[in-house]
Amino acid sequence: MKTKLENQKLSIKRLKPMVMKNIAGWLMLLPTVVFAYFIIWRPIVMGFYQSLFDMQGSTMLEFVGLENYKDIITDTNFTKVLFNTFKYTGFSLLVGFLPPVIVAILLNEVRHIRAFFKTAIYLPVVLPGIAVYMLWYYLYLPGESGLLNTILASFGIDPQPWLQDAGTSILWIVITMTWQSFGGSTLMYLAALQGINRELYEAAEIDGAGMRKRLRYIMLPEIYPIALLLFIRQIIGVFQVMEQPLAMTGGGPNGASTSLALLAYKYAFEYFQFDKAMATGVITFIILVMITGVYLVLEKKMND
Amino acid sequence: MNTKKIISSMLCVAIMSMSMLISGCQNGSDEKVSIVIGNWPSETDVATVKYYNEYKRMMNEKYPDIEIVPDTTQISTKEFAAMASSGQLPNLFVSSYTELPLAAQSGFALDITDYCKEYQYTTNLNPLLVDKVSYDERVYGIPSTAYSLGLACNRKMFETAGLVNEDGSLQYPATYDELAQTAVKIKDATGQAGFSFPTMNNQGGWIFTSLAWSYGVDFMEQDSDGKWQATFDSPECVEALQYIKDLKWKYDVLPDNSFVDVTEQRKLFASDQAAMYLMHVPERMLVKTYSMDKDDICFGRVPAGPEGRYSLMGGNVYMISPNSTPEQVDAVFKWLDIIGESPNVSDYMKENLRLEFEADNNENVPVMKTVPFSIWINDERMQLENELRSEYANVPDVNFSDYSSFEDVIIQEEEPVATQELYSILDAGIQEVLTDENADCEAIVNRMANDFQVNHLDKLS
């Protein structure tokens, strides 16, 4: 015991000069650490911890181990919700991953009024989310009164159910998400493209490289690191989709657009079962860590 | 040097905090009790905020040692849990009856059984409402409004369809089959939906239970071991769900949009895009939010199914935050006495109820001459309300007489356990039959009953 105490004193003694030497640096770091503790680390740890308890409202009653996880996984709708969540991610990669790349390349080639195009493309990003979801909700209204159906009617096409078709509701939501957020990704790709040394283009042109070769040998390799980053961010972001189905379909029809995050929301705010909401959040977290891990390993193997 | 500066700053912060703490303690020593009153009307609701400010003035006059702190947050169901968990609930807040068991079970509402006895609330409360404000035989709420479900009908659309009698009364459908026929007539005459049925936010399930009871559906029962069994996997429930499906695919009388909640229903009704929906009176929002003409709002009894007319009780209930001190709870009850939400009649209450009815009149909100039942049943309180209603009634009796007659309507309590979960499952089933013409009602009912049993009833501790 005495030895332990002495060791502690020794560590503090060694630590003190190190801290005092860089006190300004440590102090500058402090707000970030405090912020990260309260906003990121503590909620994650508390989420794990509380998911192991039976809770009454937000009060922890008794330790139940993995009982909440068992309840969620044995729920007859869990598989469907999990599949829906992967469907969101899959559709978003299919529909939403390439447009920002293409638009950024096109913008990079534009010589005139580029600022206007950049602003126009970025505009949906600054719109309030709920306004965007409501706008698209009304665009997608079924029947003859829906805006998209009105356009279709002028071409003699029958009204479509849009969000109310259980088979495609997720696709329509993903299109809304893509419209809202692709401006941000586009600007990041554009920044990467514009960071390319102009001499490379000039050299390529002298060598007779057309647009296709410039794209293949100059642009794509340059945007590859940012594409990798955005790919993972997109998987992580879309896997946690909640606001869009909540506002546009309520998770319907018949649960066809319910995601894991929306399920957690329903547990917490419709049934007041915070324990199960926490467990659902942890399940989402674990799946995301696994997907990201697998992706990074594969990516490393490919590069090697 | 830097260290000295840091220590000095920390000392300053400590001294300032201490001073604030000390000043806080000094406020406490004045023994002024402060209560936060939730659901306070916002400044945009001029008429209501006017009489709320008058309540506050009277409260200050009668109880100068109580401070009223208005909180304009309108606590919807979805904000409720978040506010409660973070300890931000006002001392007094309003929610719907259907939320009360969940709030009580989660520890988000205070057990006020003893207070209600002490302040004579329990003895004077309409017996029909005792269960509505109780959970596990303890009282957690004080009724604010209480109405049974009826059929809201749009007079203008009924007139267009020629469904108005000579005496001005509407030809209300007596049964659900008649409702479908009436809706068809209205759709043929107006081109708009004859009826709307909610499908979202657990509201579809809530209304469906009432319809299903009238088809003879029992949703659950408790066996001798105390375990709950889902019992709605029955031909009666299939028939009730088939009725909803027929409204869409056979009669084609529902709105095109199948994602409908009560807010959407009100919009459709007030803008003459749907002629009927099941709801409880008085539906003030139709006038206040959507500027509907009060004389076009009519209410009939809930239609009958093969087993009769089954209705459920709706309305709002006051609850008290569990963080409230006994002094604050006492102050809240005094506040309720002042604003007229209590059985204890006083001059203040008389004046305030009058103010409310006057404001409703000024805003053209319907004031019915009679209501099917009163919240408070002591003679003095009932007499006061009846006198004021007679004086301020502003809609023709004929608009609400069928609803108010209350004849042969059976009021049934909400299902006893996992109620919101049941509504959510029913919502999904209703959405399925309204979005898939080929949906198999029997299979859906079978699946819903199984889901409810496995996912919820089997997991009740």
pTM for the whole thing? 0.84
B-chain CB neighbours of A254 within 8 Å are: 428-429, 431-432, 435
* Residue B21, pLDDT score: 42
pLDDT for residue B435 is more than 80: yes
pLDDT for residue A115 is more than 80: yes
**What 3-state DSSP class applies to A124?**
helix
* Residue B3, pLDDT score: 54
* Residue B10, pLDDT score: 52
Structure token pair of residue B59: 């409260």
Tell me what percent of the residues of chain B surpass a pLDDT of 90.
Answer: 58
The amino acid at residue B89 is L
Half-sphere exposure of residue B220: CA atoms within 13 angstroms, side-chain side: 26
Q: Which of B78, B81, B200 sits opposite A252 (nearest CB)?
A: B200
With tokens 């665009």, the residue in question is A139
Please list the residues that pair with A62 across neighbouring strands: A54
pLDDT for residue B156 is more than 50: yes
pLDDT for residue A187 is more than 50: yes
Which of A144, A168, A171 has its CA nearest to residue A156? Answer: A144
Quick: pLDDT tens for B126-141. Answer: 888 888 899 989 999 9
Q: Which of A54, A76, A268 sits opposite B455 (nearest CB)?
A: A76
Quick: pLDDT tens for B361-372. Answer: 988 999 988 876
Task: Give A146's contacts (C-beta < 8 A, 6+ positions apart).
Answer: A138, A139, A140, A159, A162, B256
B-chain CB neighbours of A165 within 8 Å are: 435
Query: Comparing B424 with A302, which gets the higher pLDDT?
Result: B424
- pLDDT tier for residue B67 given thresholds of 50, 70 and 90: very high
* Residue B313, pLDDT score: 82
* Residue B446, pLDDT score: 96
- pLDDT tier for residue B162 given thresholds of 50, 70 and 90: very high
* Residue B2, pLDDT score: 53
- Average pLDDT score over chain A: 88
Domains of chain B with CATH codes: 34-143+315-392 (3.40.190.10), 148-308+415-459 (3.40.190.10)
- pLDDT tier for residue B25 given thresholds of 50, 70 and 90: very low
Which of B162, B209, A192 has its CA nearest to residue B171? Answer: B162
pLDDT for residue B27 is more than 60: no
* Residue B461, pLDDT score: 63
* Residue B4, pLDDT score: 57
The sign of the torsion formed by the CA atoms of B14, B16, B20, B22 equals: positive
Q: Which residues of A touch B (CB under 8 A)?
A: 20, 23-24, 27, 54, 56-59, 71, 74-77, 141-146, 159, 161, 163-166, 249-250, 252-255, 266, 268-272, 274
The amino acid at residue B136 is D
pLDDT for residue A12 is more than 90: no
pLDDT for residue A22 is more than 90: no
Quick: pLDDT tens for A196-248. Answer: 888 888 888 888 888 888 888 888 888 888 888 888 888 989 999 999 999 99
- pLDDT tier for residue B30 given thresholds of 50, 70 and 90: low
Structure token pair of residue A142: 């079924």
With tokens 């794209």, the residue in question is A215
* Residue B74, pLDDT score: 77
* Residue B18, pLDDT score: 47
**Quick check: B85 and A143 CB within 8 A?**
no
3-class secondary structure per residue, chain B: CHHHHHHHHHHHHHHHHHHHHHHHHHHHHCCCEEEEECCCCCCCCHHHHHHHHHHHHHHHHHCCCEEEEECCCCCCHHHHHHHHHCCCCCCEEEEEHHHHHHHHHCCCCCCCHHHHHHCCHHHHECHHHHHHHEECCEECCEECCCEEEEEEEEHHHHHHCCCECCCCCECCCCEHHHHHHHHHHHHHHHCCECCCCCCCCCHHHHHHHHHHHCCCCCCEEECCCCCEEECCCCHHHHHHHHHHHHHHHCCCCCCCCCCCCHHHHHHHHHCCCECEEEEECCCCHHHHCCCCCHHHEEEEECCEECCEEEEEEECEEEEECCCCCHHHHHHHHHHHHHHCCCCCCCHHHHHHHHHHHHHHHHCCCCCCCCCCCCCECCHHHHHHHHHHHHHHCCCCHHHCHHHHHCCCEEEECCCCCCHHHHHHHHHHHHHHHHHCCCCCHHHHHHHHHHHHHHHCHHHCC
Contact, B392 vs B361, CB < 8 A? yes
Q: Mean pLDDT over residues A287-296, rounded?
A: 88
**Rounded to an integer, what distance in angstroms lies between the CA atom of residue B73 and that of residue A224?**
48
Range among A4-13, A205-214, B255-264 rated most confident = B255-264
* Residue B7, pLDDT score: 53
Triad B92, B96, B99: Cα angle to 5°: 95
pLDDT for residue B20 is more than 60: no
Quick: pLDDT tens for B261-283. Answer: 999 999 999 999 999 999 988 77
Distance of residue B430 Cα from the nearest chain A Cα, in angstroms: 8
Whether B259 contacts chain A with CB within 8 A: yes
Q: Mean pLDDT over residues A33-46, rounded?
A: 91
Tell me what percent of the residues of chain B surpass a pLDDT of 70.
Answer: 92
- pLDDT tier for residue A3 given thresholds of 50, 70 and 90: low
Tell how strand B409-412 and strand B147-154 pair up: unpaired
